[in-house]
Chain A
Amino acid sequence: MSDLLYQGGDWSYDTIQRVYAEVEKIAVGELGLEVYPNRIEVITSEQMLDAYASSGLPIFYGHWSFGKRFATHEQIYRKGWSNLAYEIVINSNPCISYIMEGNSATMQTLVIAHAAFGHNHFFRNNQIFKEWTDAAGILDYLEYAKGYVARCEERHGEAAVERVLDAAHALMDQGVHRSPKRRHDLKSEQAKWRERRRYAEASYNELWRTLPHAKKRERPALAEIETKFNLPEENLLYFIEKFAPRLKPWQREIIRIVRLMGQYFYPQRQTKVMNEGAATFTHYAVMNRLHEKGLIDDGAYLEFLTSHTNVVSQPTFEEKHYSGINPYSLGFAMMRDIERICLAPTAEDRDWFPDIAGRNDAMGVMRQIWADYRDESFISQYLSPRLIREFRMFRLVDDPAEADLRVDAIHDERGYRRVRRALAREYDLSRIDPAIEVVGVDFEGDRRLIVHHNVVEGRQLSAAACAKVVQHMANLWGYEVVLKEIDGSGDCIKEFSGEPEPA
């Protein structure tokens, strides 16, 4: 049995190297994954807690909220409410995976397959990540951001920097561009706007301005303002960064840093199920192959199965520890299901998925899907009736107009499509995040910023938090900010407003 990569739980750096080489053979050679170069870093539990506090990133600027997050995680961990993650992986090139020193040899093998190959492949190939994140530049950028914020603190004082960061963090979810096209448009619009400004300044003539006529000066038409600022603009942070009248250059730069970090994490929020599904599918395939090849013994295989089963378990809605659908569970089940549909489709599958059913190249199909989809589109396309039955999913509707909750659809012929559509919608970030956009600026008058929340299905913002965020926004904008909640018929239901506080 000298073929075994390791025996028992102990591992050394040599073990890691050998394990990595074998996992690579399977993942790259057999599964056809395509990954960034890997860097594996062994860390202690304390360092893992540190990493938690900064969203898993190795370097981050200083802010009290990270201290708060650290305290929370530390508390949870020390009380034994939950274990620490076995690994953290960063979407960077080279791809960094942190693995815990306390993991057994089997867990290290699993983690390498899961993170260094599964997630890594996903980061490198998925369309959204390719479009929105710059894996090669992120580490340098983090270094720059940390240094920049620290220098600002030295120069302008911690309180001043904290004020900007607090406000920018509050708007972080509203700091992402959701579609790439607009970004381009915006740039050219901005160039045009500058050109207009330049022309207006160059052709300004004092002779034309006489006091009696001052009042007659027309306010610019709404349409003109809209083109000027490319309104409506849903990226609030971007708008403030570019147009807030009273911000100093360093404040704009800090807002930009926060905005870019939000943008960097946005793809991860959109692909939770797929990303974990792909990684879990990869480690499952790799571990099985290792066992088949006689590279790990039965004990290790059982240890892997135990841990794998825990990871993909899905409690039912009645169970006490139910906390939503487990992305690992749903993702893994869907990937396995797609594999099955490719290799051994039933009549139902051929009906539902004519394009992939019976195509023997399951990995090829899978890699294509991993590259092209995000959670919402993935579920709405590939959640099969069979899985809906297996999970026994049902759709529950809570309409305030009715006295009771209503079971709207279950796992039957009539319900499949409705359940699938409803589940997909739960992963649609543009539905989860409130639709808030800048609609107007009164630049000629009191410079008031007008922001609308378009209320969908009567779901309004939670008022206490909203008032605070509007206050933060006013602090950045420098003048009054008004947020109106607009319902479907265009009426304003509720209004929040904030005046900037003195710094």
Chain B
Amino acid sequence: MDVIDRRLNPTGKSLPNRQRFLRRARKVIREAVREASADRSIRETGEGGVIVIPTGGIDEPRFRLGAKGSHERVLPGNREFVEGDRLPRPQGGGLGEGEGPGAGRGGGGEDDFQIALSASEFLDFFLEDLELPDLERRKLSKTETAGMRRVGFTTTGSPMNLAVTRTMRNALSRRIALRRPKFDEISVAESALEEAGDPEARSRLDTELAALKQRSRAIPYIDPIDLRFRRLEPAPRPIAQAVVFCLMDVSGSMSQHMKDIAKRFFMLLYVFLTKRYKHVEVVFIRHTDEAKEVDEDTFFHSRETGGTRVSTALSEMLRIVEDRYPRADWNIYVAQASDGDNEPGDNAMAAALMQERIMPISQYVAYLEVDEPHRHGMARSSLWRTYESLKSPAPAMRRVTSRQEIYPVFRELFKRRLAESEPA
């Protein structure tokens, strides 16, 4: 009998089959992921979780007998029945194993199927038809900082970069090639010399030992010729972190509905960036006629009264960038949501800040004008007209009045930018 410990065997044997399954169920899962993500907060969007999909398309049909016809069953636990008793037929059919839900034998039933997705699988599905990969690659080439990269070995360098293994290997092969006596050989010769009594043998051994020692001295253990150093080469390194500034107007004119639309937009942006960067931070700045950094909950749920001065939010953002997010280390994304009702005197200021300070340091700036559904197609707001007049690069702008529009708008914003400012 053998006992074998398999616990250390590689796990995840089912992973390839899981991927096959996800590929097969792609369409239904994508739908389910969209639905599931509607009720999540921004930071939760990127997490995995259980989703429920209908079995259509992933069922495994077999020939099964249906519920029709006569059936019989032997059951345990009779209490009061005697032969010939009649029982009313239970709701939903008799004893047959049927096509209805709960058939439980694979095939027939259209029960929903539950599957737990990991965070990355969830995002894959969530972003699937966004068609953003092109954009990502282009962005990657731009978002770089200088760094060093290991490339092979060199014979010169600073002691810090000494490649010990490589050096010792060279030394060893040189010692073998030049037949440097090993330590044992010398000690064997020494003890032989001590034990030898015969003077003639002694003198012979003495000469041999001297020769060995001479050779050992002549051929060093490590020679400068053996030294190897790790060679480093400057190489661009993509910045692996990003910060999203969510700017929102919270003055009295912004209704909960408008905030909700904005939230969804921020959410998409966040998810998109999490997928792209190792580390994503979100900064929430809300403003009326003065701006303030707040946490997510306050951002979406508390109301303020006051006028609207967009420039305050922009300068608050710049201040935070200066404080905490040096350009060399962070990719900066800005998403601004507002009803566009800016104080007329502030427009010039906002335009200047946007054009001269924010656009140059940001990867991407999106301005989302939100409004009530019934006001669809109304005249453009003052802030819209202001941003519209900016020279390229200008913020990407969209006007949204209902929740359903968010997704297409998000997609279009990114696509459009591709076409306009970064022709392939």
Q: Give Cα A266–Cα B25 distance, bound, in whole angstroms.
A: 30
Is B61 an interface residue when CB atoms closer than 8 A count as contact?
yes
Q: A404-B87, A464-B99 are in contact. Are A459 and B13 (CB under 8 A)?
A: no
Q: Are B4 and A40 in contact (CB under 8 A)?
A: yes
Docked CA distance A462–B85 (Å): 30
We find that the number of chain A residues with CB closer than 8 angstroms to chain B is: 99
Contact (Cβ within 8 A) A419 B72: no
Which B residues lie within 8 Å of A396 (CB)? 72-75, 87, 95
Stretch binding the partner chain, chosen from B108-116, B220-228, B294-302: B108-116
Known: A20-B1, A68-B21, A170-B61. A316 touches B72 (CB 8 A): no
Contact B82 A407 (CB under 8 A): yes
Q: Is B340 on the interface with A (CB-CB < 8 A)?
A: no
Task: List A contacts of B82 (CB < 8 A).
Answer: 407, 410
Cα separation A436 to B64 with both chains bound (whole Å): 11
Cα–Cα distance between A414 and B81 once the two chains are bound (Å): 14
A320 to chain B, nearest CB (A): 13
Contacts of A433 in B (CB 8 A): 63
Tell me how far the C-beta of A399 lies from the nearest C-beta in chain B, rounded to whole angstroms. Answer: 5
Whether A423 lies near B58 (C-beta < 8 A) is no
In the complex, chain A residues 389-435 whose Cβ is within 8 Å of any chain B Cβ: 391-401, 403-412, 414-415, 419, 422-423, 426, 432-434
Bound: A469/B107 CA distance, A: 10
Instruction: Evaluate contact between A407 and B6: CB separation under 8 angstroms.
Output: no
Q: Which of A59-67, A201-209, A343-351, A354-362 faces chain B?
A: A59-67
Q: Is B234 part of the contact surface with A, judged by Cβ < 8 Å?
A: no
Choose, from A72-80, A268-276, A298-306, A439-447, the stretch at the interface: A72-80
Task: Tell me the dominant secondary structure on chain B's binding face.
Answer: loop
**Binary flags per residue of A131-151, CB closer than 8 Å to B gives 1, else 0:** 000000000000000000000
Q: Does A178 contact B (CB under 8 A)?
A: no
Task: Answer yes or no: A243 CB below 8 A from chain B CBs.
Answer: no
Whether A397 contacts B3 by the Cβ 8 Å rule is no
Contact call A394/B69, Cβ cutoff below 8 A: no
Which of B7-58 touch A at CB < 8 Å?
7, 9, 11, 13-14, 16-25, 50, 58
Q: Tell me the residues in window 363-408 of chain B with beta carbons closer than 8 Å to chain A beta carbons.
A: none
Residues of A within 8 A of B73 (CB): 395-396, 398, 426
Interface positions of B from 260 to 307, Cβ below 8 Å from A: none
* Cβ B62 vs Cβ A459 within 8 A: no
A75 to B18, CA, bound (A): 13
Binds B, one of A43-51, A212-220, A222-230, A287-295: A43-51
Given contacts A63-B17, A64-B24, A74-B116, contact A400 B68 (CB under 8 A): yes
CB distance from A325 to the nearest CB of B (A): 6
Q: Report which of A43, A116, A316, A405 forms a contact with B7, defined as CB distance below 8 A.
A: A43
Within the complex, what minimum Cβ distance (angstroms) separates A405 from chain B?
5
Q: Determine whether the beta carbon of A44 is less than 8 Å from that of B11.
A: yes
CA distance in complex: A401, B14 (Å): 49
When distances are taken between beta carbons in the complex, the residues of chain A under 8 Å from B61 are 170, 464-466, 468-469, 472
B137 CB-CB contact with A under 8 Å: no
If A325-B74, A434-B64 are given as contacts, then 17 extra A-B residue pairs at C-beta distance below 8 Å, sorted by A number, are A40-B2, A42-B3, A47-B7, A67-B14, A67-B17, A68-B60, A173-B63, A393-B74, A393-B76, A394-B78, A405-B95, A407-B85, A426-B74, A460-B68, A462-B99, A464-B108, A466-B61
- A selection of 8 A-B contacts at a CB cut-off of 8 Å is A71-B18, A71-B115, A170-B60, A405-B94, A408-B83, A453-B63, A462-B107, A465-B64
A residues within 8 Å of B by Cβ?
Answer: 13, 16-17, 20, 24, 37-44, 46-47, 49-50, 53-54, 62-68, 70-72, 74-75, 78, 94, 98, 101, 116, 158, 162, 166, 169-170, 172-174, 314-319, 322, 325, 391-401, 403-412, 414-415, 419, 422-423, 426, 432-434, 436, 453, 455-466, 468-469, 472
Chain B residues proximal to chain A, CB less than 8 Å: 1-7, 9, 11, 13-14, 16-25, 50, 58-79, 81-89, 94-96, 98-99, 107-108, 113-116
